[in-house]
Homo-oligomer: A and B are copies of this chain.
Amino acid sequence: MARIESKLAALGLVLPAPLQTPPGVVLPFSMVRLVGSRAIVSGHGPLNADGSLAQPLGKVGAELTVEQGYAAARLVALAVLASLQRALGDLDRITAWSRVLGMVNSAPGFVRQPAVINGFSDLVIELFGAQVGAHARSAVGLFELPFGIPVEVEAEVEFAA
């Protein structure tokens, strides 16, 4: 069993199935785009194990607490890892996390975006370690996100041939 997959199993974490696109929605792009040694990751939201959008939807600071936002960002990390596994075959091929753009669906006056996106960063670093898992990051407050998801993250990693 691969290293990252065993760590996920040891943590009792399951990578979700591909996004079940909501009815009437067409998403004509790739969840992960491989260009040279770069895997460029589309914006992902939080998913249930079956690929449906995880609840609760809404804005952090209103419908969601910071803790619920953190949990949603952790689910986003799992959805991103699932897409990377499908694109790369094996998560152990990832040699470096490069960039994370964390977008938090924010209620007026909510300014704790970093505490929310830590749900993503903490899991990446726990799984990949401080060297490979290190990443540049922005965590910012969006006005609206698709379908009302509370968190969306786009990212980029390096991978080995």
Contacts and interface: CB of A to CB of B under 8 A. Distances in A.
Interface of A: 25-33, 35-36, 38, 40-43, 96-101, 103, 106, 108-115, 118, 121-122, 125, 134-148, 152, 154, 158
Nearest to A83: B136
Given A35-B158, A96-B35, A135 B29 contact: yes
A97 B28 CA distance: 13
Contact of A25 (B98, B99, B115, B147): B115
Nearest to A141: B144
Contact of A98 (B33, B103, B114): B33
Nearest to A98: B35
